[in-house]
Structure 1
């Protein structure tokens, strides 16, 4: 087996891993960065548009008063005190300074109102990447800086085991051909992004896993979590899904922005669950996390139901509804559209999706019920009740805003967009202390190991909260914490020697 040696091994190059590597690079501590993919980056690079922070210099300049105290209390209350208080506190207190670190990494952000309509009046805590494409480019430039300083970046390489005997001796990695290399080291930082890429683990934890649309890092298979658990780390925690929006498929999803089907997915039209019942105020579409949670609550799948008259209206008219993802794809300072349409290609888009099963078309409600295997009586009752709410401009059950009660559903032709709970990953894994060191069930830290980002328990109780950018912000900060603690430990050992 080939042998390498270094001071620290960083596993994963998403937000947490690249942040840890950058800290080691700045402190001139030798490291090897291991990345399973053929390029650096994870969910934070390819999907995230910003980070959460309090007390940043930008916020101070704007007079933002929402700071550590309000964030700590709000987040703790939100999670009903099922949180790692010390870790949460350390993250929040470093989150503001992390904004300056991002600029130094070539990933500058600007504090601005939320990308989500539901949170436009929230405190200014969201810091958006100034330019999404430049963020991707600058992320890709970081490995060259690391290598120029004498470090190594191993792509298409994954951690597979640890040599551990009262302390870390080596990390065993394997390339895509299965060839193993022994990296002798005394510190490892697991930043490999949770376990959403492990189909069996997902099925074990989530009864509706088969319905999920995974828009996250499918290469994240829980390796860091499993290797830490193997050494006695406590992984006791309720499963926490990084649920984020909904979509029909990977072909018609919010990242592509090329289908009218996806556009109507992002509006508060009529939604019915697998029992043909309405299940939520569809205005929840404007809060990404809660929208996905609502779908998760009805076994991960629901239907957007509309008729031909509505389709034709969108084809020729401007509709006073906002596409929920419109703001996400605006660059900093860009003014979003608050209307939809006309959508000249909508019929062709729906016809094409009907061929692939992402949309189900029927000549009547009865035929739609047969195709979707829905109880016809329940479907008719739900349609009648919703049509009455539209006609009376009063939703007495779910309290949808009057200005969103625009389209009823008449009999034939009718369409159902098949919607799936979209996920960006998972947010549970290993219990850690404030230093991001994994702990046993007795609370004792396992030395030489650090677990960060989406591998960590303790920030969320049962789901991703409506604090925009919190997962990405924590990933960057936890990587920073772990690298700082690893360097501190190395220095202590050196001093003792």
Structure 2
């Protein structure tokens, strides 16, 4: 057996990869991280960093009683049991421990920032004070303290396989041998071919489709894993965000003063429903797209929802619905304008009588201070009465994350199509396909997945490598 350069080689330096590296080093392994970008962090560093977890000290400090069992039940129910219960069970059971580990590294989660990030009644969205960048910064510090070697600016495209065993990777044209390899390369949001093949729900929107993940997320891990014999799981899954297609700027939530209607001219959802389920609600409508209706008063005075003002001020989000931006889109005909609701209905191609009824009922609800159909907070509603009237098409086309990926088991071992672990190969985070389902359970689902299974992959990869070395 050739001498190994490292016990564990981690490919990808985002939240999952850094978590794996730290855990493997804690087990006593010699660890290296190879990152394609010029610095570590990946998509985790670009995110708000919300961590979805149950039974945490932060919840207890906020007076919230929660359990991994309750989180599991919600997770499985929202996904209609179309996810692997054994995998989800691990995620739920370990979510609290993973969050406490991040806190021990100095990541701050305050009770007052805890919020309901899904469509359940329990606050499980743990927002860190320094967003996702704060999480990856703490992980990098810990990794370096543990002696992990980190090489940035190097893309890995091929695993070294000998006799059905993964024994390393080609790193920048040079072979690096390791007792175990952890693939944590993120998704494939920036690879149009892979989107067409594995996430057609996103690709169908053509040039409207764009990804907010790190630009290095091109599916390398998916491809090299498949070449090594890995099976895939989670076809056509991911998280899409709604967009009017004005600009390629991130705006997670549509403002609540919009009225969303489908091609029948009817409302179909609460306009500020959590982004975890909004794209699914839009997708189910005829044609898979809908229209946002508003009037001239909203065009002139519409503001972001108060709950998201801090994100807009920080620059993390961009408000697409400001007066200057809307005026620009009106000139480009991306926003249609009409002197009456009937005329607007004709422009967008919906039944005029139905749309008139929808808007009339909505206006009466605003005046009554009660959304009788969908229960939207009346303080966030605006009447649609002042002409001209406007409509903008909305599509679920911003790729937040992709969930088709390498099939793994509870120990983060990568499986082949016979469900047999590939010797020496582990994976964690967005590159895996066995954890996230058709419905994103709530803000922080992906960060929880990255850290929980990153730690598991690191632990198991270290055990595997050290055991093999001892045997040899």
**Short-chain TM bin:** 0.7 to 0.9
> Using the alignment, how far apart are the partners of 1:124 and 1:33 within structure 2?
34
After TM superposition, give the deviation of residue 43 of structure 1 in Å. 2.2
> Using the alignment, how far apart are the partners of 2:332 and 2:140 within structure 1?
41
After TM superposition, give the deviation of residue 452 of structure 1 in Å. 1.0
Question: Who is 1:297 aligned against?
Answer: 284
SS in 1 for 2:157: strand
Question: Who is 1:270 aligned against?
Answer: 259
After TM superposition, give the deviation of residue 277 of structure 1 in Å. 3.0
Higher deviation after alignment, 234-243 or 191-200:
234-243
Is 1:239 the counterpart of 2:236? The answer is: yes
Is 1:230 the counterpart of 2:243? The answer is: no
Is 1:69 the counterpart of 2:69? The answer is: yes
Over 3 Å counting, the alpha-carbon distance change for 1:200 and 1:91 in structure 2 is: same
After TM superposition, give the deviation of residue 251 of structure 1 in Å. 4.6
| Structure 1 residue corresponding to 2:250, chosen from 248, 253, 269 | 253
Contact persistence 2:25–2:147 (CA under 8 A):
no
SS in 2 for 1:73: helix
Is 1:127 the counterpart of 2:126? The answer is: yes
Is 1:81 the counterpart of 2:75? The answer is: no
Over 3 Å counting, the alpha-carbon distance change for 1:397 and 1:123 in structure 2 is: closer
> Using the alignment, how far apart are the partners of 1:431 and 1:225 within structure 2?
10
SS in 1 for 2:272: helix
Over 3 Å counting, the alpha-carbon distance change for 1:154 and 1:434 in structure 2 is: same
Is 1:440 the counterpart of 2:423? The answer is: no
Deviations 1:303-331 (A, max 9, x none): 3222224434x26xxx8x94563476799
Deviations 1:144-179 (A, max 9, x none): 6645755432222222111202312320133xxxxx
1:166-181 matches, cutoff 5 A? 166=163, 167-174=165-172, 180-181=173-174
| Structure 1 residue corresponding to 2:216, chosen from 215, 219, 222 | 219
Over 3 Å counting, the alpha-carbon distance change for 1:491 and 1:357 in structure 2 is: farther
Is 1:160 the counterpart of 2:157? The answer is: yes
After TM superposition, give the deviation of residue 130 of structure 1 in Å. 2.1
Contact persistence 2:62–2:111 (CA under 8 A):
no
Contact persistence 1:238–1:462 (CA under 8 A):
no
Contact persistence 1:169–1:185 (CA under 8 A):
yes
Query: What is the alpha-carbon root mean square deviation over aligned residues?
Result: 3.5
SS in 1 for 2:413: coil
Question: Who is 1:206 aligned against?
Answer: 200
After TM superposition, give the deviation of residue 489 of structure 1 in Å. 1.0
After TM superposition, give the deviation of residue 198 of structure 1 in Å. 1.5
Over 3 Å counting, the alpha-carbon distance change for 1:381 and 1:356 in structure 2 is: same
> Using the alignment, how far apart are the partners of 1:362 and 1:392 within structure 2?
22
Gaps of 5+ in 2: 315-319
Contact persistence 2:261–2:293 (CA under 8 A):
yes
> Using the alignment, how far apart are the partners of 1:397 and 1:60 within structure 2?
35
Over 3 Å counting, the alpha-carbon distance change for 1:128 and 1:280 in structure 2 is: same
Is 1:482 the counterpart of 2:470? The answer is: no
Is 1:102 the counterpart of 2:99? The answer is: no
> Using the alignment, how far apart are the partners of 1:451 and 1:138 within structure 2?
20
Deviations 1:71-125 (A, max 9, x none): 2222223323222222222222221121222123342323456546875x82232
Contact persistence 2:22–2:142 (CA under 8 A):
no
Normalization by structure 2: what TM-score? 0.83
Over 3 Å counting, the alpha-carbon distance change for 1:355 and 1:155 in structure 2 is: farther
> Using the alignment, how far apart are the partners of 2:45 and 2:72 within structure 1?
27
